[in-house]
Amino acid sequence: MKIPEIIKNRRSIRSFLDKELPEEISKTLIEAACLAPSAGNLQPWEFIILKEEETKKKLVEAAYGQEFISEAKIVIVVCANPNSSAARYGTRGSSLYCLQDTAAAVQNILLTATDNGLGGCWVGAFDEKKASEALKLPREIRPVAIIPI
């Protein structure tokens, strides 16, 4: 598909087929995310790919009961490293640029999923502290988006 067609076809999908995804799709999605623009090319993001049910269920709890998260075969959590952006850009980097950068990465994941015939949803409604605990994230890393695929 061409980019305008991919953009038009992208939808927030909250119902998933009980079908295994090819192993290489995770790599394809993360590669696309890493091609997103970022301030100073710092790429202040981290990606966590979840397949295990226990952690997905903890994310459902952190996401105010959005059960469809646990129904997806894979869940990608996009995280920001504010310290990385702050090192070059100070407060604006830690409070804004790192979030803008991860947002661009999220969009690349969703558009690449659409181009590969897959659906996903950008979940931003979650308790950040509970999500961080479920993922055992270091204190300086912030979960920004949960993307069930």
In this structure, are residues 119 and 135 in contact, taking their beta carbons and an 8 Å threshold? no
Estimate the share of the chain in helix, then strand, then coil, as percent rounded to the nearest 5: 50, 15, 35
Alpha carbon distance 87, 22 (integer Å): 38
pLDDT mean over 18-44: 97
pLDDT mean over 28-42: 99
pLDDT of res. 142: 98
- Give the model confidence (pLDDT) of 46-102 as tens digits: 999 999 999 999 999 999 999 999 999 999 999 999 999 999 999 999 999 999 999
Q: pLDDT-based confidence at 134, cuts 50/70/90?
A: very high
DSSP 69-95: HHHSS-EEEEEE-HHHHHHHHHHHIII
CB-based contacts of 132, cutoff 8 Å, min separation 6: 141, 142, 143
- The average confidence (pLDDT) of the chain is 98
Residue 1 in this model has a pLDDT that exceeds 90 = no
Complete domains list, the chain, with CATH: 24-148 (3.40.109.10)
pLDDT of res. 146: 99
Residue 140 in this model has a pLDDT that exceeds 90 = yes
- Give the model confidence (pLDDT) of 22-31 as tens digits: 989 999 999 9
Give pTM, 2 decimals. Answer: 0.96
φ and ψ of 137, to 5 deg: -80, 145
Alpha carbon distance 55, 79 (integer Å): 16
Alpha carbon distance 12, 129 (integer Å): 25
Whole-number percent of the chain with pLDDT over 90 = 97
